[in-house]
Amino acid sequence: MQINVGIQVLRALATIAVAATHFQMDLAKMFPASDALPVFMPVTRGAFDFFFLISGFVLVYASDKLFGAPGGPAIFFTRRLIRIIPLYWLATSVYVLMAIAIPSLGKTFSVETIIASYLFIPVPRLDGVMQPVLGQGWTLNYEMFFYVIFAVSMFAQRRGAVALSSLLLIAAVVVGWTVPLPVAFAYWCTPIILEFILGMILGVFFLEGVRIPAWSGWTLVALGLAIIVFLPLQGDDYSMMRVLMLGGPAFLITAGLTLGDLLKASVPMRMISVIGDASFSLYLFHSFPNRGLLTLTVWLGLNPTAAPWLWLVVAMMAGILMSIAMYYLIEVRTTHALRRLLNCQTTRRIETSPQGSKRALLTPQGRFQP
């Protein structure tokens, strides 16, 4: 099943934006007096909100054959674990081993933080930051919470499952507002999870054939970009204001690109789509080429602040090439192997009963599906 070109482009651009922002932060740490790069954060912070919205869209889109089907929730959740766990656990393990082997990095993690990171349970680190060992893994703590809610709702057909998932997410936010909760649940029940609902709604619209004129699509994209650029959100919380000021524009841009069908398959779009495929690898591992390149410049006696944009581009290209290699050499092979092992490659087969009614059955299928 091929995902929409617009979604692939957004995946790629959002992940590159995160990597660029982290390059800027690493540059500022290594060269504290440098102001060579502008402050990206007010604009690129919205990249994370695109991740949540795209996740809602993709889950509806890629799970369409599983709604209301026997065994659908189990197959869905197994697929998600296969997709997330191997690479994330690999990245987490690398960070843990580096912290142990290279004390000069100044990274120390408690046993609780390490275990919680592997289990996608949010707990504060020793420095008080509410992040796992791999900092950007905070989004995956929300993702896994969403996967559980989505899986619970999949006994229903598409619209019913999306409606139930949305109600459960809204209920979680209301509870988080009104009831004192343990740390992990207080973290999960924040308004930012409502952005998954926006993505699911777009997924339903797209699958049911809702389309808008191209001019309307470009208008939505322009409006969303204008809000992000000219009304940047200050602060870094997961409040309702963030949902409105970052989730809202992300919804407008994603709606414009997908429902307006603005981006057509072409050689440039296919190239960007490859980055979209490899975006998970880039998201998890971009710190290695970023910091490795900056460390190399120092070792060579170079000053990256003299040509910051050049080094930013080099770092992004290195990260993209690394992630594409990891995608084909690790992600694809691991996903295929685990799906075959766990027998969760499925398709929908329609059977007609003796009474003439039709029902959908899930049957093994050897072809890769997202």
pLDDT for 204-235, tens place per residue?
A: 999 999 999 999 999 999 999 999 888 877 76
Q: How much of the chain, in percent, has pLDDT values that exceed 70?
A: 89
Is 369 inside a domain boundary? no
Indicate whether 145 pLDDT > 70: yes
Instruction: Look at 362 and 208; give whichever has higher pLDDT.
Output: 208
- Enclosing domain of residue 330: 5-364
Could you tell me the pLDDT band of residue 41, with boundaries at 50, 70 and 90?
low
Cβ atoms 87, 330 nearer than 8 A: yes
Mean pLDDT of 135-139: 94
Q: How many domains does the chain have?
A: 1
pLDDT at residue 183 is higher than 70: yes
The verdict on residue 182 lying in a domain is: yes
In order, the DSSP letters of 91-159 are HHHHHHHHHHH-GGG-----HHHHHHHHTT-----TTS-S--SSGGGHHHHHHHHHHHHHHHHTTS-HH
Write the pLDDT tens digit of every residue in 341-350.
887 654 443 3
Query: Of how many residues is the chain composed?
Result: 370
Domain assignment present for residue 295? The answer is yes
Cα distance between residue 139 and residue 92, in whole Å: 14
Q: Give the pLDDT of residue 355.
A: 40
Yes or no: say if 49 and 190 are a contact pair by the CB < 8 Å rule: no
How far is Cα 89 from Cα 359, in angstroms, rounded to an integer? 38
Q: In the predicted model, is pLDDT for residue 292 greater than 50? A: yes
Q: Decide if 40 is inside a domain.
A: yes
On whether the CB atoms of residues 283 and 238 are closer than 8 A, the answer is no
The CB density around residue 232, as the number of other CB atoms within 10 Å, is: 16
In a domain, 44, yes or no: yes
184-193 residue pLDDT tens: 999 999 999 9
**Amino acid letter at 149?**
I
Could you tell me if 370 and 82 are in contact, meaning their C-beta atoms sit under 8 angstroms apart? Answer: no
C-alpha 41/C-alpha 39 separation (Å) is: 6
Q: Is residue 94 part of a domain?
A: yes
Has residue 370 been placed in a domain?
Answer: no
Alpha-carbon distance 237 to 275, whole Å? 28
Q: Is the separation of the CB atoms in 199 and 250 below 8 Å?
A: no
Residue 215 lies in a domain: yes
Q: In a 3-state reduction of DSSP, which class is residue 37? A: coil
Higher per-residue confidence, 328 vs 354: 328
Confidence (pLDDT) at 361: 38
| Distance from C-alpha of 166 to C-alpha of 160, rounded to nearest angstrom | 10
Query: Dihedrals φ, ψ of 97, to 5°?
Result: -65, -40
Q: Residue 216, exposed/middle/buried by CB under 10 A (0-12, 13-18, 19+)?
A: middle
Residue 338 has pLDDT above 80, yes or no: yes
230-280 pLDDT tens trace: 887 776 678 899 999 999 999 999 999 999 999 888 888 888 999 999 999
Token representation of residue 137: 């893994």
Q: What is the pLDDT of residue 222?
A: 96
Distance CA 249, CA 49 (A): 9
Q: What is the pLDDT of residue 358?
A: 39
Provide the pLDDT for residue 345.
Answer: 57
Contact 175, 187 (CB under 8 A): no
Rounded-to-integer distance, Cα 247 and Cα 45, Å: 11
Mean pLDDT score of the chain, rounded to an integer?
88
